Amino acid sequence: MEWNAVIVEDEHYLAQVLEKMIGEVKPECNILTKLTGVNQAIEWFRNHPEPCLVFMDIQLADGICFDVFEAVDLSNKGIVFTTAYDEYMLDAFEYNSISYLLKPIKKDSLIKVFEKIENIMSTFGQEQQGDYQHRLSQLAQHISKIAPRFRQRFMIAKADGYIQLPVHDIACFYVVEKVVQALSFGGKIHVLDFTLDKLEEELDQDIFFRANRQYIINLNAIERIENYFGGKLIIRLKPEISKEKIVVSRSKAQMLKKWLDR
């Protein structure tokens, strides 16, 4: 059976090496195209919705590959991340990651990737009809249901470019005059082009709680909870973060208690 695959790699030589290695390991794997960056990948995937296997470098010349996932739906594609660094490993597995290859990629590691895909597909697709591409799509969707995708970082615009702000570094999100801001554990404030409603959808609700219409709080930022009049509660953040008093309504107070008592 023929497989369709795409390589996303900004170094031309490395893309060629990977394509040649794939041809030796899995001759029936057809490389549809080689893409060099985030913007090119977004454009290509928007116009080519067919299922395929994607070998994706994480650090690309024009950004981080996770930006591609924010722009287009790749839930019907199996992703094999490739990188010279292992710092993004946990982030990678938040997406439809089938495997994670460290550079320089070795042939035995690539063989194991294809063996892993075949083993999972043979188990998952025993009672399913269709070719490998259809089953690969089912596999990717199955993986995405097992591992929900939560936002991992924000790209923050600065005067001279952009910085990455990891979600776990944020103590709380709040609204000031209709502008959403993120307060880091280090006390820095960053402006975000999001609504709190949108953030609530994208954040891990095991870590973040929507306290009221103005605040979303990181569990690790809470110093203590105090009783307030009318059955309300007050959240006190750790002093080094903020002295702000955050009021939780009576209707949400019980939800907050259950969220904390797990």
Tokens of 52: 């395929």
Q: Give the pLDDT of residue 128.
A: 47
Percent of residues, the chain, with pLDDT higher than 70:
82
- Confidence class for position 202, pLDDT limits 50, 70, 90: confident
State the average pLDDT for the chain.
83
Q: Can you list the pairs that 216-220 forms with residues at least 24 positions away whose Cβ atoms lie under 8 Å?
A: 216/172, 216/173, 216/174, 217/171, 217/172, 217/246, 218/170, 218/171, 218/172, 219/260, 220/171, 220/185
Tokens of 68: 């591609």
Cα 139 from Cα 78, distance rounded (Å): 7
User: Taking the model in full, what pTM does it have?
Assistant: 0.51
Please give the domain boundaries of the chain with CATH numbers for all domains. 3-146 (3.40.50.2300), 153-260 (2.40.50.40)
189, containing H or E segment: strand 189-192
Alpha helices, DSSP H only, in the chain? 12-25, 38-47, 66-71, 89-92, 107-124, 132-146, 196-202, 250-260
Q: What is the mean pLDDT of residues 217-236?
A: 93
Token look-up 């591992």 returns: 147
Q: What is the mean pLDDT of residues 185-204?
A: 90
- pLDDT digits over 88-129, tens only? 554 555 555 677 788 888 899 899 888 887 876 666 554 444
For residue 217, give the nearest of 252, 250, 193 by alpha carbon.
252
- Confidence class for position 54, pLDDT limits 50, 70, 90: very high
Cα 9 from Cα 105, distance rounded (Å): 13
pLDDT above 90: residue 65: no
Torsion of CA 41, 4, 33, 25, to 10 degrees: 120
Cα 5 from Cα 7, distance rounded (Å): 7
CA distances from 140 to 109, 144, 179, 233, 235 (A): 20, 6, 37, 43, 40
Token look-up 């170094």 returns: 11
Q: Which residue has the higher pLDDT, 159 or 21?
A: 21
Q: Give the pLDDT of residue 130.
A: 47
Q: Which residue has the higher pLDDT, 87 or 239?
A: 239
Q: Which residue has the higher pLDDT, 95 or 261?
A: 261
